[in-house]
Structure 1
Protein backbone atom coordinates (compact mmCIF):
# COMPACT_ATOMS: atom_id res chain seq x y z
CA UNK A 1 0.00 0.00 0.00
CA UNK A 2 1.35 3.40 -0.95
CA UNK A 3 1.73 6.12 1.66
CA UNK A 4 0.55 8.82 -0.76
CA UNK A 5 -2.91 9.96 0.35
CA UNK A 6 -5.79 10.94 -1.86
CA UNK A 7 -5.86 14.69 -2.36
CA UNK A 8 -8.17 16.34 0.20
CA UNK A 9 -9.21 18.99 -2.31
CA UNK A 10 -10.27 18.93 -5.96
CA UNK A 11 -7.40 19.81 -8.30
CA UNK A 12 -8.61 21.62 -11.45
CA UNK A 13 -8.29 19.84 -14.76
CA UNK A 14 -5.82 21.21 -17.31
CA UNK A 15 -8.67 21.97 -19.71
CA UNK A 16 -9.95 24.65 -17.36
CA UNK A 17 -7.14 27.04 -18.25
CA UNK A 18 -7.74 26.61 -21.97
CA UNK A 19 -11.46 27.46 -21.76
CA UNK A 20 -12.28 30.76 -23.54
CA UNK A 21 -14.03 32.19 -20.49
CA UNK A 22 -11.00 31.48 -18.28
CA UNK A 23 -8.60 33.30 -20.59
CA UNK A 24 -11.08 36.11 -21.13
CA UNK A 25 -11.48 36.74 -17.40
CA UNK A 26 -7.89 36.11 -16.35
CA UNK A 27 -5.83 37.34 -19.30
CA UNK A 28 -7.62 39.54 -21.83
CA UNK A 29 -9.83 41.61 -19.53
CA UNK A 30 -7.03 42.41 -17.05
CA UNK A 31 -4.68 43.23 -19.93
CA UNK A 32 -7.20 45.56 -21.58
CA UNK A 33 -7.90 47.25 -18.24
CA UNK A 34 -4.17 47.78 -17.70
CA UNK A 35 -3.70 49.28 -21.16
CA UNK A 36 -6.70 51.57 -20.70
CA UNK A 37 -5.47 52.76 -17.31
CA UNK A 38 -1.97 53.26 -18.72
CA UNK A 39 -3.36 55.45 -21.47
CA UNK A 40 -4.93 57.71 -18.85
CA UNK A 41 -1.94 57.70 -16.49
CA UNK A 42 1.01 57.79 -18.90
CA UNK A 43 -0.52 59.19 -22.06
CA UNK A 44 -2.96 61.77 -20.72
CA UNK A 45 -1.01 62.99 -17.69
CA UNK A 46 -2.82 61.13 -14.94
CA UNK A 47 0.48 60.24 -13.27
CA UNK A 48 1.54 63.86 -12.99
CA UNK A 49 -1.95 65.00 -11.94
CA UNK A 50 -1.90 62.67 -8.93
CA UNK A 51 1.76 63.28 -8.07
CA UNK A 52 1.16 67.04 -8.24
CA UNK A 53 -1.48 66.74 -5.54
CA UNK A 54 0.67 64.59 -3.29
CA UNK A 55 3.55 67.03 -3.76
CA UNK A 56 1.35 70.02 -2.98
CA UNK A 57 -0.17 68.40 0.10
CA UNK A 58 3.33 67.74 1.43
CA UNK A 59 4.30 71.40 1.11
CA UNK A 60 5.93 71.45 -2.34
CA UNK A 61 8.54 68.90 -1.29
CA UNK A 62 8.50 65.20 -0.49
CA UNK A 63 8.01 65.62 3.24
CA UNK A 64 7.28 61.89 3.65
CA UNK A 65 10.37 60.72 1.78
CA UNK A 66 12.22 59.85 4.98
CA UNK A 67 9.29 59.76 7.40
CA UNK A 68 9.24 56.83 9.84
CA UNK A 69 5.87 55.48 8.65
CA UNK A 70 6.57 55.51 4.92
CA UNK A 71 10.31 54.84 4.94
CA UNK A 72 10.88 52.55 7.91
CA UNK A 73 7.53 50.96 8.74
CA UNK A 74 6.09 50.38 5.26
CA UNK A 75 9.17 50.40 3.02
CA UNK A 76 11.66 48.47 5.12
CA UNK A 77 9.23 46.74 7.47
CA UNK A 78 6.96 45.68 4.62
CA UNK A 79 9.86 44.19 2.71
CA UNK A 80 10.93 42.15 5.74
CA UNK A 81 7.33 41.04 6.37
CA UNK A 82 6.97 39.80 2.79
CA UNK A 83 10.33 38.03 3.00
CA UNK A 84 9.32 36.36 6.27
CA UNK A 85 6.02 35.20 4.75
CA UNK A 86 7.89 33.77 1.76
CA UNK A 87 10.24 31.88 4.07
CA UNK A 88 7.24 30.39 5.91
CA UNK A 89 5.84 29.15 2.58
CA UNK A 90 9.24 27.68 1.67
CA UNK A 91 9.33 25.80 4.99
CA UNK A 92 5.78 24.50 4.46
CA UNK A 93 6.64 23.47 0.90
CA UNK A 94 9.76 21.62 2.07
CA UNK A 95 7.71 19.86 4.76
CA UNK A 96 5.11 18.81 2.20
CA UNK A 97 7.74 17.27 -0.07
CA UNK A 98 9.32 15.42 2.84
CA UNK A 99 6.12 14.09 4.42
CA UNK A 100 3.91 11.66 2.46
CA UNK A 101 0.84 12.67 4.49
CA UNK A 102 1.18 16.23 3.16
CA UNK A 103 1.74 15.14 -0.44
CA UNK A 104 -1.47 16.78 -1.67
CA UNK A 105 -0.03 20.21 -0.81
CA UNK A 106 3.26 19.75 -2.65
CA UNK A 107 2.46 21.26 -6.04
CA UNK A 108 0.22 24.08 -4.77
CA UNK A 109 2.86 25.21 -2.26
CA UNK A 110 5.64 24.89 -4.82
CA UNK A 111 3.52 27.00 -7.15
CA UNK A 112 3.16 29.71 -4.51
CA UNK A 113 6.90 29.76 -3.78
CA UNK A 114 7.70 30.16 -7.47
CA UNK A 115 4.95 32.72 -8.08
CA UNK A 116 6.26 35.03 -5.35
CA UNK A 117 9.90 34.56 -6.34
CA UNK A 118 9.33 34.99 -10.07
CA UNK A 119 6.93 37.89 -9.63
CA UNK A 120 9.45 39.95 -7.70
CA UNK A 121 12.31 38.69 -9.85
CA UNK A 122 10.74 39.63 -13.18
CA UNK A 123 9.89 43.10 -11.86
CA UNK A 124 13.51 43.57 -10.75
CA UNK A 125 14.72 42.45 -14.17
CA UNK A 126 12.42 44.91 -15.94
CA UNK A 127 13.61 47.73 -13.65
CA UNK A 128 17.17 47.02 -14.71
CA UNK A 129 16.46 47.34 -18.43
CA UNK A 130 13.67 49.97 -18.63
CA UNK A 131 14.93 53.53 -18.42
CA UNK A 132 12.49 55.71 -16.47
CA UNK A 133 12.97 58.18 -13.62
CA UNK A 134 11.35 58.47 -10.20
CA UNK A 135 9.24 61.58 -9.52
CA UNK A 136 11.79 62.85 -6.98
CA UNK A 137 14.41 62.93 -9.78
CA UNK A 138 12.34 65.31 -11.91
CA UNK A 139 12.66 69.08 -11.98
CA UNK A 140 8.88 69.33 -11.61
CA UNK A 141 9.25 67.85 -8.13
CA UNK A 142 12.49 69.41 -6.97
CA UNK A 143 14.90 67.17 -8.89
CA UNK A 144 17.25 67.90 -11.78
CA UNK A 145 15.90 65.92 -14.73
CA UNK A 146 13.18 66.55 -17.27
CA UNK A 147 10.45 63.97 -17.67
CA UNK A 148 11.07 61.45 -20.46
CA UNK A 149 8.22 59.11 -21.41
CA UNK A 150 8.47 55.34 -21.57
CA UNK A 151 8.97 55.22 -25.35
CA UNK A 152 10.74 58.56 -25.77
CA UNK A 153 14.46 58.89 -26.47
CA UNK A 154 16.49 60.12 -23.52
CA UNK A 155 18.91 63.00 -24.09
CA UNK A 156 22.53 61.98 -24.54
CA UNK A 157 24.38 61.89 -21.23
CA UNK A 158 21.22 61.79 -19.09
CA UNK A 159 21.70 59.29 -16.24
CA UNK A 160 19.72 56.08 -16.31
CA UNK A 161 16.44 55.85 -14.49
CA UNK A 162 15.60 52.64 -12.63
CA UNK A 163 12.08 53.30 -11.36
CA UNK A 164 9.78 51.39 -13.74
CA UNK A 165 8.06 49.17 -12.84
CA UNK A 166 7.90 49.70 -9.07
CA UNK A 167 10.09 47.30 -7.16
CA UNK A 168 8.82 47.67 -3.63
CA UNK A 169 5.15 47.10 -4.40
CA UNK A 170 6.12 43.81 -6.07
CA UNK A 171 6.77 42.48 -2.55
CA UNK A 172 3.02 42.85 -2.04
CA UNK A 173 1.57 42.29 -5.49
CA UNK A 174 3.53 39.05 -5.92
CA UNK A 175 1.15 37.57 -3.34
CA UNK A 176 -1.74 37.72 -5.81
CA UNK A 177 -0.43 34.24 -6.55
CA UNK A 178 -2.60 33.33 -3.57
CA UNK A 179 -5.58 33.66 -5.92
CA UNK A 180 -4.32 30.83 -8.12
CA UNK A 181 -3.05 28.88 -5.11
CA UNK A 182 -6.63 28.96 -3.79
CA UNK A 183 -7.94 27.75 -7.16
CA UNK A 184 -5.80 24.67 -6.62
CA UNK A 185 -6.83 23.93 -3.04
CA UNK A 186 -10.07 25.77 -2.13
CA UNK A 187 -11.57 27.80 -4.99
CA UNK A 188 -13.90 29.59 -2.56
CA UNK A 189 -10.83 31.22 -0.98
CA UNK A 190 -9.58 32.75 -4.22
CA UNK A 191 -11.03 36.23 -3.63
CA UNK A 192 -9.50 36.37 -0.17
CA UNK A 193 -6.14 35.43 -1.64
CA UNK A 194 -6.49 38.09 -4.31
CA UNK A 195 -7.45 40.66 -1.68
CA UNK A 196 -4.28 39.91 0.32
CA UNK A 197 -2.04 40.54 -2.67
CA UNK A 198 -3.91 43.63 -3.84
CA UNK A 199 -4.02 45.19 -0.37
CA UNK A 200 -0.35 44.55 0.38
CA UNK A 201 0.77 45.87 -3.00
CA UNK A 202 -1.50 48.92 -2.75
CA UNK A 203 -0.17 49.85 0.70
CA UNK A 204 3.44 49.43 -0.39
CA UNK A 205 2.80 51.32 -3.62
CA UNK A 206 0.96 54.23 -1.99
CA UNK A 207 3.74 54.68 0.55
CA UNK A 208 6.29 54.92 -2.26
CA UNK A 209 4.15 57.39 -4.19
CA UNK A 210 3.89 59.57 -1.09
CA UNK A 211 7.68 59.43 -0.80
CA UNK A 212 8.07 60.56 -4.43
CA UNK A 213 9.62 57.25 -5.48
CA UNK A 214 7.03 56.20 -8.07
CA UNK A 215 4.12 57.28 -10.20
CA UNK A 216 0.87 55.32 -10.03
CA UNK A 217 1.54 53.75 -13.45
CA UNK A 218 4.75 52.23 -12.09
CA UNK A 219 2.71 50.30 -9.52
CA UNK A 220 0.03 49.46 -12.07
CA UNK A 221 2.57 47.69 -14.26
CA UNK A 222 4.07 45.93 -11.28
CA UNK A 223 0.62 44.55 -10.54
CA UNK A 224 0.15 43.55 -14.19
CA UNK A 225 3.55 41.85 -14.28
CA UNK A 226 2.93 39.88 -11.09
CA UNK A 227 -0.52 38.86 -12.33
CA UNK A 228 0.78 37.68 -15.71
CA UNK A 229 3.62 35.73 -14.07
CA UNK A 230 1.21 34.08 -11.64
CA UNK A 231 -1.24 33.25 -14.42
CA UNK A 232 1.42 31.81 -16.73
CA UNK A 233 2.84 29.69 -13.92
CA UNK A 234 -0.63 28.45 -12.99
CA UNK A 235 -1.24 27.35 -16.57
CA UNK A 236 2.17 25.66 -16.67
CA UNK A 237 1.36 23.75 -13.48
CA UNK A 238 -1.92 22.35 -14.76
CA UNK A 239 -0.43 19.23 -16.45
CA UNK A 240 1.50 18.45 -13.26
CA UNK A 241 -1.61 18.87 -11.14
CA UNK A 242 -3.59 16.65 -13.47
CA UNK A 243 -0.97 13.90 -13.22
CA UNK A 244 -0.87 14.26 -9.43
CA UNK A 245 -4.64 14.01 -9.24
CA UNK A 246 -4.70 10.88 -11.42
CA UNK A 247 -1.99 9.19 -9.35
CA UNK A 248 -3.63 10.14 -6.05
CA UNK A 249 -7.03 8.79 -7.15
CA UNK A 250 -5.48 5.57 -8.41
CA UNK A 251 -3.85 4.83 -5.07
CA UNK A 252 -5.84 2.71 -2.58
CA UNK A 253 -6.93 4.55 0.57
Structure 2
Protein backbone atom coordinates (compact mmCIF):
# COMPACT_ATOMS: atom_id res chain seq x y z
CA UNK A 1 0.00 0.00 0.00
CA UNK A 2 1.37 3.42 -0.94
CA UNK A 3 2.50 5.55 1.99
CA UNK A 4 0.69 8.82 2.36
CA UNK A 5 2.54 12.09 1.98
CA UNK A 6 1.15 15.37 3.23
CA UNK A 7 1.38 18.02 0.47
CA UNK A 8 3.23 21.19 1.43
CA UNK A 9 1.22 24.41 0.93
CA UNK A 10 1.53 26.17 -2.42
CA UNK A 11 2.16 29.91 -2.28
CA UNK A 12 0.16 31.28 -5.24
CA UNK A 13 2.13 34.54 -5.27
CA UNK A 14 5.35 32.59 -5.71
CA UNK A 15 4.24 29.75 -7.97
CA UNK A 16 1.85 31.74 -10.17
CA UNK A 17 2.82 35.36 -9.48
CA UNK A 18 6.34 35.12 -10.88
CA UNK A 19 5.18 33.45 -14.15
CA UNK A 20 2.43 36.07 -14.50
CA UNK A 21 4.90 38.94 -14.07
CA UNK A 22 7.23 37.25 -16.55
CA UNK A 23 4.46 36.97 -19.14
CA UNK A 24 3.60 40.65 -18.70
CA UNK A 25 7.27 41.52 -19.16
CA UNK A 26 7.43 39.39 -22.31
CA UNK A 27 4.40 41.14 -23.78
CA UNK A 28 5.95 44.53 -23.01
CA UNK A 29 9.18 43.29 -24.59
CA UNK A 30 7.32 43.25 -27.91
CA UNK A 31 7.59 47.06 -27.95
CA UNK A 32 11.37 47.03 -27.54
CA UNK A 33 14.34 45.94 -29.67
CA UNK A 34 15.94 43.86 -26.90
CA UNK A 35 15.67 40.57 -28.77
CA UNK A 36 17.34 41.98 -31.85
CA UNK A 37 19.95 43.88 -29.83
CA UNK A 38 21.04 40.71 -28.02
CA UNK A 39 21.11 38.72 -31.26
CA UNK A 40 23.44 41.30 -32.79
CA UNK A 41 25.90 40.72 -29.94
CA UNK A 42 26.30 37.10 -31.08
CA UNK A 43 26.57 37.87 -34.80
CA UNK A 44 29.90 38.34 -36.57
CA UNK A 45 29.26 40.55 -39.63
CA UNK A 46 32.75 39.89 -41.02
CA UNK A 47 32.25 36.13 -41.01
CA UNK A 48 28.61 36.54 -41.99
CA UNK A 49 27.36 34.13 -39.33
CA UNK A 50 26.65 33.75 -35.62
CA UNK A 51 29.70 33.10 -33.49
CA UNK A 52 28.44 29.71 -32.29
CA UNK A 53 26.90 28.55 -35.56
CA UNK A 54 29.29 25.64 -36.07
CA UNK A 55 30.58 25.21 -32.54
CA UNK A 56 31.23 21.56 -31.57
CA UNK A 57 30.51 22.35 -27.91
CA UNK A 58 27.21 24.09 -28.62
CA UNK A 59 25.95 21.80 -31.39
CA UNK A 60 27.22 18.34 -30.46
CA UNK A 61 27.56 18.49 -26.67
CA UNK A 62 25.00 21.05 -25.47
CA UNK A 63 22.47 20.33 -28.21
CA UNK A 64 22.66 16.68 -29.29
CA UNK A 65 24.12 14.96 -26.23
CA UNK A 66 22.12 16.89 -23.64
CA UNK A 67 18.91 16.24 -25.57
CA UNK A 68 19.75 12.54 -25.68
CA UNK A 69 20.37 12.59 -21.93
CA UNK A 70 16.92 14.02 -21.23
CA UNK A 71 15.36 11.43 -23.54
CA UNK A 72 17.10 8.73 -21.49
CA UNK A 73 15.70 10.32 -18.31
CA UNK A 74 12.21 10.21 -19.79
CA UNK A 75 12.55 6.55 -20.80
CA UNK A 76 13.88 5.61 -17.36
CA UNK A 77 10.96 7.46 -15.75
CA UNK A 78 8.48 5.47 -17.83
CA UNK A 79 10.22 2.20 -16.94
CA UNK A 80 10.29 3.09 -13.23
CA UNK A 81 6.61 4.05 -13.32
CA UNK A 82 5.73 0.71 -14.93
CA UNK A 83 7.84 -1.15 -12.35
CA UNK A 84 6.05 0.68 -9.53
CA UNK A 85 3.06 -1.59 -10.21
CA UNK A 86 5.23 -4.68 -9.80
CA UNK A 87 8.13 -3.88 -7.48
CA UNK A 88 7.20 -3.24 -3.88
CA UNK A 89 10.12 -0.87 -3.24
CA UNK A 90 8.67 1.54 -5.81
CA UNK A 91 5.05 1.30 -4.67
CA UNK A 92 5.31 4.40 -2.48
CA UNK A 93 6.75 6.45 -5.38
CA UNK A 94 4.11 5.52 -7.95
CA UNK A 95 2.32 8.87 -7.95
CA UNK A 96 5.56 10.83 -8.05
CA UNK A 97 6.83 8.75 -10.96
CA UNK A 98 3.53 9.18 -12.77
CA UNK A 99 3.71 12.93 -12.22
CA UNK A 100 7.27 12.98 -13.55
CA UNK A 101 6.32 11.07 -16.70
CA UNK A 102 3.35 13.36 -17.31
CA UNK A 103 5.29 16.59 -16.77
CA UNK A 104 8.28 15.55 -18.88
CA UNK A 105 6.02 14.42 -21.71
CA UNK A 106 3.97 17.62 -21.77
CA UNK A 107 7.02 19.87 -21.34
CA UNK A 108 8.53 18.52 -24.54
CA UNK A 109 5.37 17.82 -26.54
CA UNK A 110 3.95 21.36 -26.52
CA UNK A 111 6.85 22.88 -28.49
CA UNK A 112 6.31 21.50 -32.00
CA UNK A 113 2.58 22.33 -32.27
CA UNK A 114 3.22 25.92 -31.14
CA UNK A 115 6.09 26.28 -33.59
CA UNK A 116 3.82 25.22 -36.44
CA UNK A 117 1.06 27.52 -35.23
CA UNK A 118 3.11 30.70 -34.75
CA UNK A 119 5.62 30.28 -37.63
CA UNK A 120 8.15 32.68 -36.10
CA UNK A 121 11.44 32.90 -38.00
CA UNK A 122 14.81 32.03 -36.45
CA UNK A 123 17.44 34.79 -36.24
CA UNK A 124 19.77 32.95 -38.64
CA UNK A 125 17.02 33.05 -41.31
CA UNK A 126 16.58 36.83 -41.19
CA UNK A 127 17.98 39.31 -43.70
CA UNK A 128 19.71 41.20 -40.87
CA UNK A 129 21.87 38.12 -40.27
CA UNK A 130 22.58 36.91 -43.77
CA UNK A 131 19.29 35.13 -44.41
CA UNK A 132 16.35 35.94 -46.67
CA UNK A 133 13.40 36.21 -44.29
CA UNK A 134 11.74 39.33 -42.87
CA UNK A 135 11.77 39.86 -39.13
CA UNK A 136 8.47 39.92 -37.27
CA UNK A 137 7.73 39.81 -33.57
CA UNK A 138 5.47 37.24 -31.94
CA UNK A 139 2.35 39.42 -31.90
CA UNK A 140 2.87 40.88 -35.37
CA UNK A 141 1.48 39.48 -38.66
CA UNK A 142 3.85 37.14 -40.48
CA UNK A 143 5.30 38.47 -43.77
CA UNK A 144 4.70 36.35 -46.86
CA UNK A 145 7.29 33.59 -47.24
CA UNK A 146 7.85 30.29 -48.99
CA UNK A 147 9.36 28.79 -45.85
CA UNK A 148 7.48 29.50 -42.58
CA UNK A 149 9.62 29.77 -39.47
CA UNK A 150 9.63 27.16 -36.72
CA UNK A 151 11.38 28.99 -33.89
CA UNK A 152 8.83 29.95 -31.21
CA UNK A 153 8.95 28.77 -28.52
CA UNK A 154 12.53 27.64 -27.96
CA UNK A 155 12.61 23.88 -28.36
CA UNK A 156 16.04 23.18 -26.96
CA UNK A 157 15.38 25.40 -23.95
CA UNK A 158 12.63 22.92 -23.05
CA UNK A 159 15.31 20.24 -22.79
CA UNK A 160 16.62 22.06 -19.72
CA UNK A 161 13.51 23.71 -18.32
CA UNK A 162 11.49 20.45 -18.47
CA UNK A 163 13.58 19.45 -15.43
CA UNK A 164 11.35 21.76 -13.37
CA UNK A 165 9.31 18.55 -13.14
CA UNK A 166 11.93 17.10 -10.78
CA UNK A 167 11.39 19.99 -8.37
CA UNK A 168 7.66 19.41 -8.14
CA UNK A 169 8.04 15.64 -7.83
CA UNK A 170 10.48 15.98 -4.94
CA UNK A 171 9.09 19.04 -3.10
CA UNK A 172 6.95 17.10 -0.59
CA UNK A 173 9.27 14.17 0.08
CA UNK A 174 12.77 15.64 -0.34
CA UNK A 175 12.65 19.45 0.02
CA UNK A 176 16.42 19.97 -0.08
CA UNK A 177 16.83 17.74 -3.10
CA UNK A 178 13.89 19.53 -4.71
CA UNK A 179 15.63 22.88 -4.32
CA UNK A 180 18.76 21.42 -5.90
CA UNK A 181 16.64 20.12 -8.79
CA UNK A 182 15.13 23.58 -9.21
CA UNK A 183 18.58 25.15 -9.49
CA UNK A 184 19.64 22.42 -11.91
CA UNK A 185 16.62 23.00 -14.14
CA UNK A 186 17.08 26.77 -14.16
CA UNK A 187 20.82 26.51 -14.83
CA UNK A 188 20.41 23.87 -17.56
CA UNK A 189 17.63 25.77 -19.30
CA UNK A 190 19.56 29.03 -19.13
CA UNK A 191 22.81 27.54 -20.46
CA UNK A 192 21.04 25.75 -23.32
CA UNK A 193 19.09 28.93 -24.12
CA UNK A 194 22.20 31.09 -24.33
CA UNK A 195 23.92 28.43 -26.40
CA UNK A 196 21.15 28.45 -28.98
CA UNK A 197 21.14 32.25 -29.01
CA UNK A 198 24.87 32.18 -29.77
CA UNK A 199 24.09 29.89 -32.70
CA UNK A 200 21.37 32.20 -34.01
CA UNK A 201 18.63 29.64 -33.44
CA UNK A 202 16.49 31.69 -31.05
CA UNK A 203 15.87 35.11 -29.57
CA UNK A 204 15.88 35.60 -25.80
CA UNK A 205 12.09 35.88 -25.58
CA UNK A 206 11.64 32.50 -27.30
CA UNK A 207 13.48 30.78 -24.46
CA UNK A 208 11.87 32.74 -21.63
CA UNK A 209 8.43 31.79 -22.96
CA UNK A 210 9.56 28.17 -22.89
CA UNK A 211 10.59 28.49 -19.25
CA UNK A 212 7.16 29.84 -18.33
CA UNK A 213 5.38 27.03 -20.17
CA UNK A 214 7.55 24.33 -18.57
CA UNK A 215 7.02 25.78 -15.09
CA UNK A 216 3.25 25.92 -15.48
CA UNK A 217 3.18 22.39 -16.88
CA UNK A 218 5.20 21.13 -13.93
CA UNK A 219 2.95 22.98 -11.49
CA UNK A 220 -0.22 21.75 -13.18
CA UNK A 221 1.00 18.14 -13.25
CA UNK A 222 1.94 18.35 -9.58
CA UNK A 223 -1.42 19.81 -8.59
CA UNK A 224 -3.33 17.24 -10.63
CA UNK A 225 -1.43 14.15 -9.51
CA UNK A 226 0.13 14.92 -6.11
CA UNK A 227 -1.14 18.04 -4.40
CA UNK A 228 -4.69 16.86 -3.75
CA UNK A 229 -3.46 13.76 -2.00
CA UNK A 230 -4.30 13.69 1.68
CA UNK A 231 -3.00 11.48 4.50
CA UNK A 232 -5.05 8.35 4.99
CA UNK A 233 -6.52 8.43 8.43
CA UNK A 234 -7.50 5.31 10.32
CA UNK A 235 -11.29 4.96 10.60
CA UNK A 236 -12.66 6.05 13.92
CA UNK A 237 -13.72 3.23 16.22
CA UNK A 238 -17.39 3.48 16.92
CA UNK A 239 -18.38 2.84 20.48
CA UNK A 240 -21.39 0.74 21.20
CA UNK A 241 -24.01 2.66 23.06
CA UNK A 242 -25.69 0.62 25.72
The two structures have a TM-score, normalised by structure 1, of: 0.84
- What CA distance in whole angstroms lies between the structure 2 residues aligned with 1:78 and 1:167? 13
Query: Is 1:190 equivalent to 2:178 in the alignment?
Result: yes
Query: Is 1:69 equivalent to 2:57 in the alignment?
Result: yes
2:239 aligned residue: none
1:112 aligned residue: 100
- The structure whose residues are more often helix, as a share, is 1
2:6 aligned residue: 11
Task: Provide the secondary structure at the position in 2 that maps to 1:184.
Answer: coil
Query: Is 1:211 equivalent to 2:199 in the alignment?
Result: yes
How many residues are paired up?
235
- What CA distance in whole angstroms lies between the structure 2 residues aligned with 1:214 and 1:51? 8
1:237 aligned residue: 225
Aligned counterparts, 1:1-253, within 5 A: 4=1, 6-7=3-4, 10-12=5-7, 16-17=9-10, 22-40=11-29, 42-56=30-44, 59-238=47-226, 241-242=229-230, 245-246=231-232, 250=234
Give unmatched runs, 5+ long, in structure 1.
none
CA gap 1:98/1:50 in 2 versus in 1, 3 angstroms: same
Tell me which stretches of 4 or more aligned residues in structure 1 moved more than 6 Å.
none
Any idea what the Cα deviations from partners look like across 1:45-101, whole Å, max 9, x if unmatched? 111111111114984422421221111111111110111122222222222222233
Contact in 1 for aligned 2:52/2:199 (Cα 8 Å): yes
Any idea what the Cα deviations from partners look like across 1:131-162, whole Å, max 9, x if unmatched? 21000010111111121111211233453111
CA shift, 1:198, in A, is: 1.1
- What CA distance in whole angstroms lies between the structure 2 residues aligned with 1:151 and 1:233? 28
CA gap 1:157/1:48 in 2 versus in 1, 3 angstroms: closer
- What CA distance in whole angstroms lies between the structure 1 residues aligned with 2:175 and 2:45? 42
- What CA distance in whole angstroms lies between the structure 2 residues aligned with 1:222 and 1:239? 24
CA shift, 1:183, in A, is: 1.5
CA gap 1:163/1:58 in 2 versus in 1, 3 angstroms: farther
Rg (Cα) greater in structure: 2
Task: Provide the secondary structure at the position in 2 that maps to 1:155.
Answer: coil
- What CA distance in whole angstroms lies between the structure 2 residues aligned with 1:147 and 1:236? 39
CA gap 1:57/1:24 in 2 versus in 1, 3 angstroms: farther
Name whichever of 110-119 and 232-241 sits farther off.
Answer: 232-241
